[in-house]
Structure 1
C-alpha cells in the first residue's frame, strides 16, 4: 500500500488505485499521513476542515469520515503495519514512513545532505524532486489550509532545488543551467540563492558581464522593494567574478580540512526523544538568506550541553563543511567570552591565517560571514548569556545551522532572528531511573526510583550520583538509599578537585547573576511550600508593588529558577527549592520570609 501527498492525494494497493472519497475525507487522510504514527486529535481535524465556523455536527462528521477511511483501508487489504485506530482524544494511523511520498522525499533530502559527493547528491535530489506531481495536497485542501499544513514541505522542495543546482554547479554544469535558473529567478525574485546560482551559471558559460548584470538587478530589486542589501554570499560572488577567479575556488577546502570541533558525546545518553525531534525539525528548516537557529534553554544542571552535543554528534554528517564549537562561558565564574574572541577562534578554525584576522568586531563578523558563505556548517554556541552575545556569531548563509544553549530564555533571537526555542525540563521518572541504572551499573531495583527523586530528576545530580554508585559497586541500592536518607544532596553531590564540580556550584552561578531584588524573591520562595503556590500569593507576600513583583517573577522564570504554570501557579524544582531555603537561612536569618520589608 502506497500513499501520495506531493500533488493530488492518491493511494494504491496491489497496483490498483483506491477510492478515497470526497475532499474532506481526502484531507483527513492526508493529515493522518503527514503525521503518521502520531496521535491526531479530533479537534485538530475539525479546525482544519472548518477553519472559521464549524457546524454543531462537526465532530460526528469527522468520525463518520474516519469510519469510512477505515473501511477503505481494510477493503484494500491493509495489514498490521497500516491501520487506523482510535486512541483517547484522537486517531492514530500507523504506517511505515517509506510508504508515504512526503516522508520518502524528506528521507532522500537528508541522505543528500549527508553526502560529500556532488554526483551522489545530484542523483538523490533528482530522485526526491521527481516525487512531486504538483502542489502538495492539491485537490484536498483549500489554499489557506494547504499553506498551514505544507509550508515546511514547500520550503523543503525549494531548498532541494537549490541544493540540486549547487551540486550541478559544483560538477561544472553551469552552462546547461542558465535557462532553468533564469526562470527560477523570475518566479522567486527575492530568493537570493537562486540569484547567486544564476550568476555562477552565467559566469561558467563565459558571460561574466551578464553575471554582474544579474547581481545589479538583484541588488536594485532588493533595495527598491525591501530596503535591504544582498546577502554576503552574493557580494563575495560578485567580487570573485570581478577578480576573474573560478567561482567555487573560494568555497572549496582541501580534503580533511573542514573543522570538527564538537566535544565527545556523553556516555549513557537517556531520553529526550521529543527534544531531539524538535532540534532536528528546527535545524532542518532552510531559509534563503539566514541560518536555521535552535536555542536550548533550561535551568542549571538540566543537561542542555549534553543534549546539544549528542544531537550535533548524531547529525554531524548533515553539515558536510564542518562543525564549529565555542563555549561562550555565559554562566561561568569568570567573564563571558567576548564576541570578538569567539570570532577570532572560529576564523582560525576555518583556515584564516592568524595575521589576517582583523581587530574590530564589524570586520571580524564580516570576514566570518564571508568564510561561511555557501558552506553547510553547524555552529554550536554553548552557554550563551544574552542574545547580544550570540548575534555577531550568526552566519549570513542559509545553509548553516546554529545550535545555542543558555540558562536564560533568549526571546530576542526568537523575535528578530526567527530562532526556535526549546525548553528543557528535568528528566521524567522512568528516564531518571534509566540513567541511574545504566550510568551507575546497577541491577534493576525498586529503590532506584527513590534515588532519582532524591536527585530531583536533575541530570547533573543523577550523573554525579551514578558515578558514586559505580565506584561503590559493593553497596546494594537499598543500602545506599538508607545511608543517604537524612543527607542533603546539595552537600553530597560534589566532586572535589581543582575544578570542583557540584550541583551547589552550578546553582551558585545562576543565583549570583541575579539582581539583588530577584535574589531576595528567590530566597523567599524557599520558605513557601515545595508544591508551589499561586503567583498572586507570592506577589502579595513580597511586599513589593504588583508590577515590580511580577517583573521579578518573570526574571526568575527566564533564568529557569522558578516555573510559571499555565494556571499562574509558581513552583520551584526540588533541588532549587532546597537551595533557596538554604540561601534564605544564610542571608536572611531569623527574619526569613517574603515579607521582610526590604
Structure 2
C-alpha cells in the first residue's frame, strides 16, 4: 500500500484540515491558543509552502473593519504560533513559519497535511483500476473526520474554501461508488446512494449511479421515477434538461437494455480514447472535426500556475467538479492570448488529446482599432460552418442559431476558445450547454457577469516574474548576448510586461545599430520610454495597446485616469482621487470600479489603488497632453491641500499641539478618529506625503511645504523614521527660510534636532539648531512654542553631557508647561529630568521621577507615552539589579505597545526582555526576543535597531 495511506500520527507534526482544524504532535493534539490564531494557522496550512500576503490574511481573519493595530496583532499571533510549533516539533521535523514578503509562509513536508494526502491519493486512484482503485479511494475518504474547517464557518473566505473541499470529497465519493460498481460491489450501495441523493438532489452523477443500482437490483420503475424527479426539479429551478449522459442511462433502462458496468460514467468524465459508437455516428455525419486554433506562439515562457488552473478544466480531471469555463483577464500586453493558445495546443495534442471532437476559435475583436466587435450571431455562423453545416442549413435568427449550436455540441468533448471579448453579453450565446465542452475566454475586462451567472473561473494575469521576464528576452533576442544585469535592467524598465519585453528584444535582434546600453538609456528616460516600446509595425506598440482600452472609457472614467497621471506616487487612495476630481468618495469609487474592470487600475485593499509602471507613464503622458495648464494647476493644488489637511488631522490625533496652524480644507477626509487610525494613515501615505511636500516646494507654496513636514513630526517620532525624514525637514526648513516665516523656521529647527541627535557625531549640530530655534521662540513670545523649544535645547545639552545647563532648561520647561496647564508637557519635562538623574548616576531618583511620570500619562490616557516610560522604568530597574521588576515593566510596556500599535516601543520592550533572559542565563530565549525585536524595526532607522543588532552580533561572536 502507498505510504500516503498510512496515518501520520506518531511521525511528528501533522496538520489536519479534514474536520475541525487541529495539529497533532506524535499523535496528540496541541493547544493552538485563541480562535484567531487557529484560523491563521489553518489559512497558512491551506496554502502550505506558498506565501500568504498580510493583506489576504487580514481579509480572511477580519470580516469587518480590522483594528488599526491589526498588523501588530498579526505579528503577535505569528510569534506565538512559531513558539507553539517549535515546542511541539519532534526531532527531525522540518516545519516552521517563515516571514517572506509580502506575508508569511508555512514551510513543511506536504505529506504532513491530510488534505494534501487526500489529493495525492485521488491522483493515484486516477491511474489505477479494479479493486486497487477502490482501496485507494476508500483510504482517501477515511482521512475525513467531519466537515472541513467546520468551526470556521463564520469567516466567508474560509467557508468558501470549506465548501470547495466538500465538493472534492463528494467527487471522491462518486469515484469510489463508480469504482465499486465497476468491480461488481454494487449490492450494498443502495442505502448509501439513497441518502446521498436525498442530501444532494441536484448531483446528476449520484442520481445516475442510483438509477443503475436500482435497475440492477430489479427495481426498474424506481430507477425511472428517480430520473423524472430530477428532470422536473431541474426544469422548475433552472429551466434545463438532465445531462446527455443521464438521458442515455434513462433511455437504456426504459428500453430494458443491459447497462454496462461503466454506464455511470458521465460523458465528460470518460478518459480520452476511441470515440464510442453513438458519438462516432454523429461525428461521421459532419464533414470535418473542427481544428480552428491559431498557430502556436513562439517564445512562450512561464505561467506555470495559470496553466495548472487551466488544466483543472480538462475533461480527464473528473474529480474537479463545477464550471468548465475560464476567463483570462488582464491589461493589454500581458500575453492573455498567448497563454490561451499555448494551453489549447497542449491540451489538444496527441497522444492524450483532451478534445477529440475538435476546437472552435473566434476573435471577438473587443478592442480592435479598425473593426467593431463581432456580433454573436456572426460567430455562431462561423462555428456552425466549422461543425460541418452548409450555409443554407444555418438559421437566420440568433435564438435559432444558439439552439442548433448547443444541440450539435451537446454530446461532444470540445474546446471553445473566445479571444478578446468585450463583455459577458457578447459571450453568453457562444457558450455550449454541455459540461463536456470546455470554454476559454480572454478579455481586458473581468467579465463579472460570467462569474456570477455561469460560475466561470477568473484568472487575473499579472506581469511575469523576474526570471521568466529575462528568459523571454533571451529567447527573442536570439544571438544577441546580454549579461544578467542587462537582462534584469531591461525587464525592470519594461515592467515585466510580455508585450514590452518582446518589443525591446525585437529591437535588439532586428537592428544591429541599436546596442543594449543605448536601448537601456532610452528606456530609462520616462519621457521616451513608451515611444521606445514600439515595433517597426506601427500597430504594435505598448502605448497603442493601452490607447485602445483608454478610448473605450466613459468620459468620467477617462478624466479620472488622466488625474491619476497628475498624482506623483505609485499608489494612491480613493480619498485623494476624490479631492483631485473635486467629487465625492462614492462617485470616485464608481469610476475606479470601471478602471479596475479594464485593468487600468488595481485595488490594493484598504481603499488604495495602484497600476502597472508603464500604465502609470501612459497616464502621465495623457495628463501632460490633455489637461490644460489651469486644470492641471488646480488638480495639483487640490492634491497638496488634501495631504496637508489629512496630515494635520492625523497629527492632532497622535499628539495634539497648541500654537500650530490648522488647515481650512472643507472637502472629505479619510476616516480617522483615533491615534491608531492616524498612525495607520501615515503608514500608508508616508511616501505620498514626501511627494506632496516636494510638489508644494516646486510650486512655490512654501508655507504648505513646511506645514506638511510639521504635521508629520509626531508620526516620525512614533515610528522613529529619523533618517527617512531628513529630506522632509530640510525641505521644510528651506521653505520657511525662503518665506521669512519665523514660526515655520522654529518648528522645522526643532524637527531637525530630533534627527541630528540620533546620528553619530551630530550632537553639536543639534545643539546649534536648538539654540537657533530658541532664539526664534523667544522673539515669538508664545509660551506654547517656547516650552517645547526649551525642551529641545535640554535634549541636545543632555546628549553633550552639559547636565547642569540641561537641568535648568528642564526646570524652565516644566514651569512653562505648568503655566499652560499642559499635563503632557509636564510629564515629558519630568521624564527629561529623570534622564538627567540617570545620566548623573542618580538612578533611584530617576526611578521615582519615572513612576510619577507613569501616573501622569495614565491620567491623561496616552498609551504610547506610557509605553515609553514603562520601558524607561524597565531599564532603570535593570540598573538597580531588580531583574524581576525589569521583566515586569518590560512585559507591561510590550502589552501597552501592542494595544496602541507602537511597534518601536514594542521592539524596545522585547529587547529588554532579552536582556532579562540573558541575565537569567537563558541564552536561547534572549536570542528569540532580540530576533522578534529586530523584525519589528527591520528597515527603519530607529536606534533600537542598532542596539538589537549589536546584541545579536555579540551573542553570535560568543557562540
Question: Aligned pair 1:307/2:345, yes or no?
Answer: no
Question: Aligned pair 1:130/2:139, yes or no?
Answer: yes
TM-superposition CA deviations, 1:467-510 (whole Å, max 9, x none): 2223346865224434666683444433445x943323322322
Match of 1:554 among 593, 600, 607: 593
Query: Partners in 2 of 1:51 and 1:580 — Cα distance?
Result: 34
Question: Aligned pair 1:488/2:497, yes or no?
Answer: no
Task: Give 1:410's aligned residue.
Answer: 447
Deviation at 1:36, TM superposition (A): 2.9
Aligned pairs for 1:360-439 within 5 A:
360-373=397-410, 377-398=414-435, 400-428=437-465, 431-439=468-476
TM-superposition CA deviations, 1:38-97 (whole Å, max 9, x none): 357999999999999xxx99998986676455455424x43xxx4335536987554443
Task: Give 1:452's aligned residue.
Answer: 491
Query: Partners in 1 of 2:476 and 2:147 — Cα distance?
Result: 51
TM-score (norm 1): 0.74
Match of 1:152 among 164, 167, 185: 164
Query: Partners in 2 of 1:112 and 1:399 — Cα distance?
Result: 22
Query: Partners in 1 of 2:477 and 2:326 — Cα distance?
Result: 31
Match of 1:529 among 544, 552, 568: 568
The 3 A distance-change label for structure 1 pair 280 and 353 is same
Query: Partners in 1 of 2:225 and 2:23 — Cα distance?
Result: 47
Query: Partners in 2 of 1:160 and 1:95 — Cα distance?
Result: 25
Query: Partners in 2 of 1:302 and 1:432 — Cα distance?
Result: 11
Task: Give 1:102's aligned residue.
Answer: 115
Aligned pairs for 1:51-450 within 5 A:
67=83, 69-75=85-91, 77-78=92-93, 82-87=94-99, 92-97=105-110, 100-107=113-120, 109=122, 120=129, 127-133=136-142, 135-136=144-145, 142=151, 144=153, 150-162=162-174, 179=190, 181-182=193-194, 184-199=196-211, 210-222=222-234, 226=237, 228-233=239-244, 236-237=247-248, 240=251, 252-253=279-280, 261-263=292-294, 266-272=297-303, 275-276=306-307, 291-313=323-345, 319=354, 324-333=360-369, 334-346=371-383, 358-373=395-410, 377-398=414-435, 400-428=437-465, 431-441=468-478, 442-450=481-489
Match of 1:515 among 554, 558, 561: 554
Query: Partners in 2 of 1:363 and 1:235 — Cα distance?
Result: 25
**Segment drifting more, 356-365 vs 587-596:** 587-596
Deviation at 1:407, TM superposition (A): 0.8
**Segment drifting more, 234-243 vs 533-542:** 234-243
State whether residues 296 and 423 of structure 1, in contact with CA within 8 Å, keep that contact through their aligned partners in structure 2.
yes
SS at 1:501's partner residue?
A: coil
Deviation at 1:448, TM superposition (A): 3.4
TM-score (norm 2): 0.49
The 3 A distance-change label for structure 1 pair 140 and 223 is closer
State whether residues 234 and 242 of structure 2, in contact with CA within 8 Å, keep that contact through their aligned partners in structure 1.
no
Question: Aligned pair 1:471/2:510, yes or no?
Answer: yes
The 3 A distance-change label for structure 1 pair 319 and 527 is same
SS at 1:87's partner residue?
A: strand
Task: Give 1:566's aligned residue.
Answer: 605
State whether residues 323 and 456 of structure 2, in contact with CA within 8 Å, keep that contact through their aligned partners in structure 1.
no
The 3 A distance-change label for structure 1 pair 509 and 531 is same
Query: Partners in 2 of 1:586 and 1:49 — Cα distance?
Result: 45
Deviation at 1:386, TM superposition (A): 0.4
The 3 A distance-change label for structure 1 pair 567 and 202 is closer
Deviation at 1:463, TM superposition (A): 1.0
Query: Partners in 1 of 2:99 and 2:310 — Cα distance?
Result: 27
SS at 1:337's partner residue?
A: coil
The 3 A distance-change label for structure 1 pair 568 and 471 is same
The 3 A distance-change label for structure 1 pair 533 and 219 is closer
State whether residues 208 and 246 of structure 2, in contact with CA within 8 Å, keep that contact through their aligned partners in structure 1.
no
State whether residues 323 and 455 of structure 2, in contact with CA within 8 Å, keep that contact through their aligned partners in structure 1.
no
Structure scoring higher RCO (CA < 8 A, sep ≥ 6) equals 1
State whether residues 85 and 91 of structure 1, in contact with CA within 8 Å, keep that contact through their aligned partners in structure 2.
yes
Query: Partners in 2 of 1:229 and 1:172 — Cα distance?
Result: 33
Query: Partners in 2 of 1:44 and 1:591 — Cα distance?
Result: 41
Deviation at 1:277, TM superposition (A): 5.7
TM-superposition CA deviations, 1:296-349 (whole Å, max 9, x none): 222111222233344555566694556544332222231223223334444565
State whether residues 327 and 381 of structure 1, in contact with CA within 8 Å, keep that contact through their aligned partners in structure 2.
yes
State whether residues 330 and 445 of structure 2, in contact with CA within 8 Å, keep that contact through their aligned partners in structure 1.
yes
Query: Partners in 1 of 2:132 and 2:290 — Cα distance?
Result: 27
Deviation at 1:385, TM superposition (A): 0.6
Query: Partners in 2 of 1:513 and 1:183 — Cα distance?
Result: 54
Deviation at 1:201, TM superposition (A): 6.3
Deviation at 1:422, TM superposition (A): 3.5
State whether residues 296 and 406 of structure 1, in contact with CA within 8 Å, keep that contact through their aligned partners in structure 2.
yes
**Segment drifting more, 89-98 vs 243-252:** 243-252
Structure 2, gaps ≥5 residues long: 1-7, 65-71, 268-275, 636-959
Query: Partners in 2 of 1:203 and 1:341 — Cα distance?
Result: 46
Query: Partners in 1 of 2:217 and 2:289 — Cα distance?
Result: 29
**Segment drifting more, 188-197 vs 208-217:** 208-217
SS at 2:327's partner residue?
A: strand
Query: Partners in 2 of 1:50 and 1:485 — Cα distance?
Result: 42
The 3 A distance-change label for structure 1 pair 194 and 235 is closer
Q: CA RMSD in A?
A: 5.3
Query: Partners in 2 of 1:58 and 1:488 — Cα distance?
Result: 44
State whether residues 523 and 583 of structure 1, in contact with CA within 8 Å, keep that contact through their aligned partners in structure 2.
yes
State whether residues 522 and 528 of structure 2, in contact with CA within 8 Å, keep that contact through their aligned partners in structure 1.
no
Structure 1, gaps ≥5 residues long: none
The 3 A distance-change label for structure 1 pair 92 and 577 is closer
- Look at both structures and tell me which one has the larger radius of gyration over its CA atoms: 2
State whether residues 137 and 175 of structure 2, in contact with CA within 8 Å, keep that contact through their aligned partners in structure 1.
no
TM-superposition CA deviations, 1:249-270 (whole Å, max 9, x none): 6874489997665545544444
TM-superposition CA deviations, 1:427-461 (whole Å, max 9, x none): 45555344324433443242334433443432211
SS at 1:36's partner residue?
A: coil
Deviation at 1:371, TM superposition (A): 4.6
State whether residues 265 and 310 of structure 1, in contact with CA within 8 Å, keep that contact through their aligned partners in structure 2.
yes
Match of 1:18 among 24, 27, 52: 27
State whether residues 294 and 402 of structure 1, in contact with CA within 8 Å, keep that contact through their aligned partners in structure 2.
yes
Task: Tell me how many residue pairs correspond in the alignment.
Answer: 580
